[in-house]
Amino acid sequence: MADAAGSPGGKPIFIVGPMGSGTTLLRLIVDSHDDIAIAQETSIMRAYLAHRWIPFHRHGGDWYGRLGFSDDELDERMREFYGGMFERWAASQGKKRWGDKTPWHAWQLREIARVFPDAVVLATVRHPGAVAASVSGRFRLGWGGAVSHWINTETELVQRGRELGDRFLLVRYEDLVLDPATTLREVFDWLDAPWSDRLLEHHVVHGERGGPKKVEGGARTDAPISTERISAWTEEATEDNIATLKDKVDGLFAFFGYDQQDPDALTPVTVEGSPRKKTLTGTELGQRRDAFPELTQLDEPMTPWFGNRMLTPEAIGVAAPKKKRVTPKEAAAPPPPPPTFARRARRAAGRAVRKVRPAPPK
């Protein structure tokens, strides 16, 4: 079983990123390795949050303490439970090292580091226009909502990546498909996993395994790495879409090496002195952040969608408001005088106005 000293098959791998940013492609490639099995979208860390705090229960965070367990002991049990499940699943495929690909886990990287102290994180970034086109079409967020999803998730990843340091690696989708050999060699070198040219033919490997042809997000396991989808979003983007990108994303384009409208205009994102040409560790991401001091929004705390929060009653706004404590002085004060006739008239008039509804259009 996994323990705090390290996972027996090697460091667990968590692949995260905004929806539509290439996490599935990266999962299929890493999963094609002879000794690494990457599961698709288990969302186990949402379940972990529910263990930490029983959802919606006012005293849901005290349950394990009443049984005599500390926070660290609960994490140990969760590590044994979830790590054991992944280990058995990987072993069923003849592999020792396991991982998970859940885009939403971008919001639980601190919790992942708690439960799996040796885990590493592979994160993706892709042009916000491509992500917005993919997400708005599949999840009905609207273009503006999809762009906000990209901004919020990537901002969260920059902050958590800097905390994780060399346990974090950022992979740009465009580099992955334009120069897969260089990019993937950096990825597997960072993973400390043996290289094989077969990793550039993940579609062949998956075909030989006989697994499903279609997986999450509509991705196909038999599709090779391709550059076709880099600029596909520009064919349908409207002028309003482009204006939204420019207004919302602004300086983050340059930070991630993108151009507002031209997805083929890429600039390197690596930092001086790094041995990597296509990827960034969390430490290097911090160095790049320091080179853009004007991007103060990268340091602003992000609030995840409530489905990715610990569901305390207060966190989701269903707890009754706490009663205000009345001081002895307030209790002894005389009650306020009753409203005058003029005040009562104004209040009645206000209520009447609020009840009036506009006539329907003819």
pLDDT band at 354 (very low <50, low <70, confident <90, very high): very low
Mean pLDDT of 152-175: 98
Minimum mean pLDDT among 68-72, 97-101, 139-143, 222-226: which range?
A: 139-143
Q: What is the pLDDT of residue 274?
A: 94
Radius of gyration (C-alpha) of the chain in whole angstroms = 25
The residue count for the chain: 362
Rounded to the nearest 5°, which phi and psi values hold at 243? -65, -40
Q: Residue 191's Cα: distance from chain center in Å?
A: 20
Return the SS3 of 170.
Answer: strand
Helix (H) or strand (E) holding 280: strand 279-281
**CA distance readout (Å), 212 to 16, 35, 322:** 22, 20, 53
Q: What is the pLDDT of residue 112?
A: 98
Return the SS3 of 60.
Answer: coil
pTM: 0.86
Rounded to the nearest 5°, which phi and psi values hold at 11? -60, 130
CA distance 188 to 165: 17
pLDDT band at 35 (very low <50, low <70, confident <90, very high): very high
Mean pLDDT of the chain: 89
Check pLDDT > 50 for residue 185: yes
**Sequence-separated (6 or more) residues with CB below 8 Å from residue 148:** 248
pLDDT, tens digit, 9 for 90 and up, residues 300-351: 999 898 889 888 888 777 665 555 565 666 666 776 655 554 455 455 545 5
Nearest to 209 by CA among 30, 47, 32, 29: 32
More confident residue, 211 or 13: 13
| C-beta separation of 281 from 166 below 8 A | yes
Domain 13-308 has CATH 3.40.50.800: no
Check pLDDT > 90 for residue 353: no
Rounded to the nearest 5°, which phi and psi values hold at 230? -60, -50
Ordered by start, the domain boundaries in the chain are: 13-308
Q: What is the pLDDT of residue 41?
A: 96
Nearest to 98 by CA among 109, 111, 88: 88
Q: What is the pLDDT of residue 305?
A: 86
What are the start-end ranges of the H helices in 94-179? 109-115, 128-139, 143-164, 173-178
| C-beta separation of 15 from 100 below 8 A | yes
pLDDT, tens digit, 9 for 90 and up, residues 268-297: 999 999 999 999 999 999 999 999 999 999
CB-based burial, 67-81: b 16+ in 10 Å, e otherwise: eeeeeeebbbebbeb
Strands 13-16 and 279-281: unpaired
**Sequence-separated (6 or more) residues with CB below 8 Å from residue 242:** 129, 260, 261
Q: What is the pLDDT of residue 361?
A: 45
CA distance 109 to 72: 17
